Structure 1
Amino acid sequence: MKKVIVVGAGIGGLACGALLARYGFDVEVLERSTFIGGRCSSTAGDGFVIDNFIHAFSMGSRGALGRVAGELGEDLRFVSRDPSATVIDGYRGRMKRFPQRLDMRPQWTRIRTALDIGVGIRGLAGGHRLFRDLMRADDPFIEERDRQALSEFLLEYSDDPQLLRWFGTICFLLLVLPPEEASAGEFIYCFREMFRCADFGYVRGSTGAIPGAYRRGLEKFGGTVRLGCPVEEILSDGGEVRGVLAGGEVRSADIVVSNAGIASTVRLVGERALGSDYAEWARSLTFSYGGAIVRYVLDEQVLDVPFVLYIADVQDQAKHEAFLKEGGLPEDVGIFMPVIDRCDPDLVPPGKQLLIAGTLAPASGGYAKTKELLDMVEVRLFSLFPGIERHVVRRMDVAPCEIGAASGNGERADIVGLAQSPGQVGADKPSPVMPVEGLYLVGTDAGARGVGTEQAAASAEVVARLVRQGYGAPGTIGRRPVQAWRDLL
């Protein structure tokens, strides 16, 4: 039985490890933290189960998260409602509210959405074509647009400002990037899958239920998880992986799968083993933006919607981009807010309400204005829902540095990982097969498309399949190009 060590117990690492254990490998997952799940985790206390960060799931049970659980024989249930969210458009202070429908396949839904967005008469035809093409997009259509910016793609259909604002907000929600930096192909894929599945929502049991299900599957098939066990080095010799150094102890392995992200993995392996060209290329990659989160416990159930999406009134786009890149404060804050008890009432004591509101922030662990930024979120929320402030009994802030700490990225506090930008998606995405034989990369940085944790689970499916087929194992890389792994899928 071949020994596999997985570095990191995030969604990608746990899912991949569990699948490999099911396939008959001897799997050990090493996690530096004292909890599993990384950015997809939760904490229980005082009758609450509270997500450590902020999540929704674009494909629910029909995406990779559900597929992995199903293959492991684990029960993972997602909750969706239609309308899926209340959208509030803050354009010029108008605060227009409308429901976001779950299923965009019917033509009448797309027309209704365009009218709700406020698309002008001149923009309706282009908007209709855009929605139609997004829903009908096949894989070649997507691949042809991988290296095109979303902003450029949208202008092929319409320059209606309200249509562009809505798509810009959805882009930030899915990819945590502005349309100018996002890959059109990647956005089209995520948009298509979300509305085709029509299962956007939340997971029963909190976001921590997902890594919990994968851990149960891993252990059921004989695998183990070791918490508080940081990996200091990935060991290789003669171009082949040998194991890891963890806690000062050498742990031998035939295969190592790293869920530490490409940047951290390069540091753990070392430039000498990977080659200077690969290491330099990896250092040139860019990552998504960050976020800040404020969680409220209310003494009464005030809101009766599962999600709230507030579209910020941003008049100076250049100033907003400067905020994301350089810090400071924006002129207005966009907000995405799950109402947890409306998704799963078992996570909150009877009569209470739990709100988790997130907004964009620079992806810097050193961002110094978290409190001021979240105060802006609070002012906006209290203006959108007058009287809610009378019911707040507890406020809990989450700074960008805490996101970075959970993912092990230190000062880099990106929400997603690798930016889904032109030149970093599709055929240009980092291969999960690294240039050291027997070493693989899993998670949002390699091998798959998708939204956040769903992308990580999809990557796990790919990597588990590659390992099972023996691709990238000792004695294979020299005979086959690293990028040729896609030919086996």
Structure 2
Amino acid sequence: MSGKRPSVVVVGAGVGGCAAAARLAKAGLEVTVVEKNSFTGGRCSIIRDGEHRFDQGPSLMLLPNLFHETFADLDTSIAAEGVHLLKCDPNYQVFFHDGENITLSSDLAHMKPEIEKWEGPAGFGRYLSFLSEGHKHYEFSVQKALKRNFPSVFSMLRLDLLTDLWSMFIIPSLYTRASKYFRTDRLRRCFTFGSMYMGMSPYDSPGLYSLLQFTELAEGIWYPQGGFHRIVEAIVSIGTKLGVKYRLSSPVGSVLLSEDGTRATGVVLESGDELRADIVLINADLVYAYNNLLPETAYSKSLTKKPASCSSISFYWSMDRVIDELSAHNIFMAEEFKESFNDIFKKLEMPEEPSFYVNVPSRIDPSAAPEGKDSIVVLVPMGHLKDDENGQGTKSDEHWNFLVNRVRDFVITTIEQRTGVLGLRDAIAAERINTPLTWKDRFNLDRGGILGLTIGFWNALAFRPKTRHSRIPNIYFVGASTHPGTGVPICLAGAKITTEQMLEDLKMEKPWPKTPPLNQCAKQTGSPLDVVRDNTSGREGWQQFLLYLLIFLGVPYLFNLALREVSGRRCNSL
């Protein structure tokens, strides 16, 4: 590579691949992105029907600081790139089977009476405590997981990380943690359905993921005017200015390897064209890439057995009028809440009565639909494809047509009954649909899982698929199924982690600021008023370590003593 710029070919133009490409180009590498589809963004893309516009995948912007950090590292800002962010207020309308509804907002003045209506006067204090815990989870995730790499289990052996993992990640589920703060099942449901952003059940996802509710309620929900894809367009534009070359409608057939199989030398397109490069960065679905683009190994097969996220049937409706009864974001809760998640994640099916999400982008951004009309997206989560459906599929077209029709009828009836809207079906002028089969075919998503691999404890941090191939050192990964995880802001954080790893391997400088220490104030004025003053001593860490050691050693000892005491009493009684 001496004497010339290192070259990189990026497989896939999802948000992680585009962000990584721009970062690498800024660092001075020669970057080419090849993409299967005729558009960038992957699932974070746009569907159009005349003047109607729909977000194919993500429809709300969470963890905004991770977006702003990406643009700042590229010496610009979201606003400077011509993207205007709109704040969604309220956050959601939540509709229940019994006719009641709750409006969630980042406005505390709104939330106080809303919480107290169901939880009583003490409920608001517990709500604030729930937010406080969510904030701790948020800071832990951002600082200790989303901005660090975990190349091996040994990288997790840090006292601060282990103690936090014990209290935040391992023991309680998200629903269990919410139950500590909310007395009614109604509010427990309200503050746990967000686990679906990670493609997981609130009864199985770690309590750590209350960070999602925290960011919604403390930082708000945002929407880029012109559609979520505007973020991707801006990143692509930045990368193009820095020299990134994009080749769309260019599916990759395989990764080229050296004769001894120890290094990647580029990729072969399905057209037969070869693109040579010093490094290959894969942003395609990781399970698909290991099993279709790379040599088959025991590890590649093991990935197909890892738990995948849910899939969905998604409807995109061009309405011939405005549906005033719906806000920008709406949740319709299943009556049998837990059972519906069991159907999705244990039986891998569509529940008889699912919870579902309805997005009306034209409510927050009028450019999403013609004047006097609405664009509506309905996402109905369901189980991912079973192993025997992953090829051609064992279920017939008739089965899928029947299922889609049943789900559509259920959605329309539920919306009409719970909101009072009349003639919803007749107002649908046109419809587009995604099913698990189309998610799998269009985006090469393993088992049609819309959010990649799930992120339970045994599939996170050092246990998650690595950002670099274990045997081929110049193949790297970025995207939903590798570290740090799924979701647009998480993939942006992953792009930074992976590109920094690549630059370290190349012994090149990172052309963006280092992450500041945890105890550094955001604003540095030089004034003594802004100096961080730590009230804890350096002995605190050792004291905490000794405490955990005593607990670890002492609990079995005390348990053994108790058994001896009980045994002794029985012997004496005889």
TM-score > 0.5 by shorter chain: yes
- Asked whether the 8 Å contact 1:263–1:283 carries over to 2, the reply is yes
Matched position secondary structure for 1:146? helix
How far apart are 1:14 and its partner, in Å?
A: 1.2
Matches within 5 A, 1:276-315: 276=298, 278-279=299-300, 281-303=302-324, 305-314=327-336
Residue 223 of structure 2 corresponds to residue 167 of structure 1: no
Matched position secondary structure for 2:313? strand
The one-letter amino acid of 1:83's match is P
Call closer, same or farther: CA 1:88–1:322 in 2, change over 3 Å.
closer
Q: Which range moves more in the overlay, 225-234 or 390-399?
A: 390-399
How far apart are 1:5 and its partner, in Å?
A: 0.5
How far apart are 1:37 and its partner, in Å?
A: 1.3
Q: Which range moves more in the overlay, 139-148 or 242-251?
A: 139-148
> Distance between the aligned counterparts of 1:233 and 1:348, measured in 2?
40
Matched position secondary structure for 2:327? coil
2:436 pairs, out of 400, 411, 418, with 400
Q: Which residue of 2 aligns with 1:478?
A: none
- Asked whether the 8 Å contact 1:21–1:27 carries over to 2, the reply is yes
Identity percentage of aligned residues: 19
> Distance between the aligned counterparts of 1:381 and 1:255, measured in 2?
50
- Asked whether the 8 Å contact 1:53–1:293 carries over to 2, the reply is no
- Asked whether the 8 Å contact 2:256–2:264 carries over to 1, the reply is yes
> Distance between the aligned counterparts of 1:323 and 1:189, measured in 2?
23
> Distance between the aligned counterparts of 2:453 and 2:507, measured in 1?
22
Superposed CA offset, 1:168-199 (max 9, x none): 32222x222112321222x133333343422x
> Distance between the aligned counterparts of 1:132 and 1:433, measured in 2?
36
> Distance between the aligned counterparts of 1:312 and 1:4, measured in 2?
47
Residue 87 of structure 2 corresponds to residue 85 of structure 1: no
How far apart are 1:136 and its partner, in Å?
A: 3.8
Call closer, same or farther: CA 1:259–1:382 in 2, change over 3 Å.
same
- Asked whether the 8 Å contact 2:16–2:494 carries over to 1, the reply is yes
> Distance between the aligned counterparts of 2:488 and 2:219, measured in 1?
16
How far apart are 1:394 and its partner, in Å?
A: 2.6
Count how many residue pairs are aligned between Structure 1 and Structure 2.
458
> Distance between the aligned counterparts of 1:54 and 1:133, measured in 2?
26
- Asked whether the 8 Å contact 1:21–1:221 carries over to 2, the reply is yes
**Superposition RMSD in Å:** 3.1
Q: Which residue of 1 aligns with 2:134?
A: 134
Q: Which residue of 2 aligns with 1:257?
A: 281
> Distance between the aligned counterparts of 1:376 and 1:342, measured in 2?
23
TM value normalised by structure 1: 0.84
> Distance between the aligned counterparts of 2:90 and 2:183, measured in 1?
27
Matches within 5 A, 1:121-160: 129-137=129-137, 138-139=139-140, 143-144=165-166, 145-148=168-171, 149-155=173-179, 160=184
Q: Which residue of 2 aligns with 1:334?
A: 355
Call closer, same or farther: CA 1:183–1:11 in 2, change over 3 Å.
same
Call closer, same or farther: CA 1:151–1:24 in 2, change over 3 Å.
same
Q: Which residue of 2 aligns with 1:454?
A: 489
- Asked whether the 8 Å contact 1:374–1:397 carries over to 2, the reply is no
5+ unaligned residues in a row in structure 2: which ranges? 141-160, 509-514, 519-574
> Distance between the aligned counterparts of 1:472 and 1:332, measured in 2?
55
TM value normalised by structure 2: 0.72
- Asked whether the 8 Å contact 1:17–1:29 carries over to 2, the reply is yes
Q: Which residue of 2 aligns with 1:115?
A: 116
Q: Which residue of 2 aligns with 1:65?
A: 67
Q: Which residue of 2 aligns with 1:481?
A: none
- Asked whether the 8 Å contact 2:356–2:378 carries over to 1, the reply is yes
How far apart are 1:287 and its partner, in Å?
A: 1.3
Matched position secondary structure for 2:458? coil
5+ unaligned residues in a row in structure 1: which ranges? 474-485
> Distance between the aligned counterparts of 2:371 and 2:102, measured in 1?
29
How far apart are 1:268 and its partner, in Å?
A: 4.1
Matched position secondary structure for 2:459? coil
Q: Which residue of 2 aligns with 1:419?
A: 454
Q: Which residue of 2 aligns with 1:197?
A: 219
> Distance between the aligned counterparts of 1:20 and 1:370, measured in 2?
43
Task: Decide which structure has the larger Cα Rg and report it.
Answer: 2
Call closer, same or farther: CA 1:130–1:39 in 2, change over 3 Å.
same
Matched position secondary structure for 1:447? coil
